[in-house]
Structure 1
């Protein structure tokens, strides 16, 4: 009998750690797991511990010389070796975004292993839904680290699925940063539809993701981008998503949906300029769940991604995601358990929210919201003009 959902998690996920001053802090994973547990949304039967990805699996996307370079940082002494660091620069390693750390190959391989475990569970028919909150490392390229991402777990898992099934796969990415590494990996593949909703690259890393990036060769028209204006709110972001994704899925008819749930578009996030609230991060999983059951026989793999307000935002957003995946969505009035607040407040410089959905008084407003909404509508219109099957 097919189980509804599995939560893929390892305590060793915390080893993916660029250091205490780096924004990509694994504390957010521990806090999320803690909140899900405290809410009573997870049983031992729901959880599965992943293995490290093998070299053959990493080779599905990454070049051997790049993997070899990542592997060379095993000890603290290796991370200080000037000759090694000089060579690493050619691979995007040893930078401010992607500093080296001991055993980074093992840490990156475990994140990939988590998403591959989710892929195997769904491909085998054991479960309909599977979540790896340590995944979503969507910037890593074939031969380089990028944007806090060492290995691209999403691209590897999709490639593995393409080689082991006959499925067409739709990838939906709502991280504030463009899902450039996944788009690049399948830019010429008509069997993988990539859709990215993100803050426009005119202002935000990685500087890509314009509506004109549509794919190439046989894959032309199967890369769709919805770049949002800075300070876009929930309503405009959801309107943009709903204006494109259902039509695209109806035509593409995927056998599986893979979704990336970076929550760095939240108005408290320190790295981006979007104004999403946790209402947006509850609505997106609800929509993806509905689309999976409408178009892909319920098959859905979800991963984490960005999110740099470690305790005020990420645990709430990803608990809302898991609650939807197990079909126990939280009520709009749902509150955070006092025991969790007491456990984590000392680690947060700001007061922790007491409700899953942000209070209206906490949501910022902008006098230009109407103009921003109109600009986003123009972006959607432009995309539809470029891709005839979206009209």
Structure 2
């Protein structure tokens, strides 16, 4: 297998657009690409355009009546209560023209990434337009119309008979993907997110472990608000390493929401760029250890599109392509100068965050201890099984 990577993108992905006042803004992909190109880390030969998912592919997960409703909404033919019954026309997921086509293109991008990796054309593939993890079988939710990751996982099962490990590090719980495979022992989901006590969607407790044959294949680690880098990374490294060893997947699919950062306006975690350097690094290592390198990465949340998302997402590609070590020190001055007048906030001048971007957290020790206890409870089933089997 070639140890190479594909970057899935075309301008078509920017048509997934809820309007200029909505926090979900796909322009962050363009900013990321521009940062990568200014850094000499991405050339056009690595860019592969997405395709549009077929209706049959969408219906691997989504109800046909829901797909029809999305089509009608995008033509202006679904309004009022009929739309809201499908989660459309809400503040989170407003209706926009041709929303079916735009959403199907996102799903198709993730399917293209899957096909490239599973056929051996590349070892890794990155589709930053994907990661819409809140979409349900028959309802839009949380800025997500179709759930590209869920469709891709079912596609992996149907076409390639693959066991899939889905890893979600978005600050919001990966609820749509979890519920899609809650009773399936051939899909393992791991979500590390801010506790749902104060954050949408309010799910993702450690007790959500799966059901039926899928019991024990759903892992949730809800972190306390104000969690900082050290605690976040300790949880991530431990959980992902142990869950991957337990499940031994054929492919790893990572959802890379960049909203656990301190600057993110919608969440309450205190991460810095340190975590976004380590997230893809460990996923890359484990993909080679267990999956012959097979790794697909998608985007997700991330609502500080100027200071956080471009740096965080650029690091995924640079890790995939062996260039992460060059992403240190100053950002390309030409990139900063190009976008500063449009950003509305002072842009960072370095790949790293400074040590004083926020005031010290007085509850740090308490938060760290609480997160460790949550981790212990979340991983207890596999740790207990391992101990029993060794005796």
TM-score, normalised via structure 1 length: 0.96
Please point out which of 188, 193, 196 is paired with 2:191. Answer: 196
Structure 1 SS opposite 2:79: helix
Please point out which of 294, 305, 309 is paired with 1:299. Answer: 294
Distance 1:342 1:96, change over 3 A: same
Instruction: Give the aligned partner of residue 326 of structure 1.
Output: 321
Structure 1 SS opposite 2:275: helix
Instruction: Give the aligned partner of residue 264 of structure 2.
Output: 269
Cα pair 2:280 2:319 within 8 Å, conserved: yes
Instruction: Give the aligned partner of residue 95 of structure 2.
Output: 100
The CA RMSD over aligned residues, in Å, is 1.3
The reply to whether residue 67 of structure 1 matches residue 62 of structure 2 is no
Cα pair 1:188 1:219 within 8 Å, conserved: yes
Distance in 2, matches of 1:311 and 1:16, equals 19
Distance 1:128 1:363, change over 3 A: farther
* Range with greater deviation from structure 2 (273-282 or 25-34): 25-34
Distance in 2, matches of 1:346 and 1:131, equals 29
Cα pair 1:190 1:219 within 8 Å, conserved: yes
Distance in 2, matches of 1:10 and 1:91, equals 28
Distance in 1, matches of 2:74 and 2:284, equals 40
Instruction: Give the aligned partner of residue 239 of structure 2.
Output: 244
Instruction: Give the aligned partner of residue 339 of structure 1.
Output: 334
Instruction: Give the aligned partner of residue 9 of structure 1.
Output: 9
Distance in 2, matches of 1:262 and 1:289, equals 17
Distance in 1, matches of 2:170 and 2:161, equals 28
Offset of residue 390 of structure 1: 6.5
Cα pair 1:275 1:364 within 8 Å, conserved: no
Cα pair 2:315 2:327 within 8 Å, conserved: no
Unaligned runs of 5+ in 2: none
Number of residues paired by the alignment? Answer: 386
Cα pair 2:79 2:89 within 8 Å, conserved: no
Offset of residue 2 of structure 1: 2.0
Within-5 A mapping of 1:351-370: 351-370=346-365
Structure 1 SS opposite 2:200: coil
Distance in 2, matches of 1:385 and 1:97, equals 36
TM-score, normalised via structure 2 length: 0.96
Offset of residue 215 of structure 1: 0.3
Instruction: Give the aligned partner of residue 38 of structure 1.
Output: 38
Distance in 1, matches of 2:385 and 2:170, equals 25
* Range with greater deviation from structure 2 (43-52 or 126-135): 43-52
Q: Cα deviation per residue 1:286-311 (whole Å; 9 max; x = unaligned)?
A: 01111111111111000000000011
Offset of residue 84 of structure 1: 2.2
* Range with greater deviation from structure 2 (339-348 or 108-117): 339-348
The reply to whether residue 161 of structure 1 matches residue 123 of structure 2 is no
Unaligned runs of 5+ in 1: none
Cα pair 1:267 1:364 within 8 Å, conserved: no
Offset of residue 364 of structure 1: 4.1
Cα pair 2:73 2:83 within 8 Å, conserved: no
Distance 1:107 1:277, change over 3 A: same
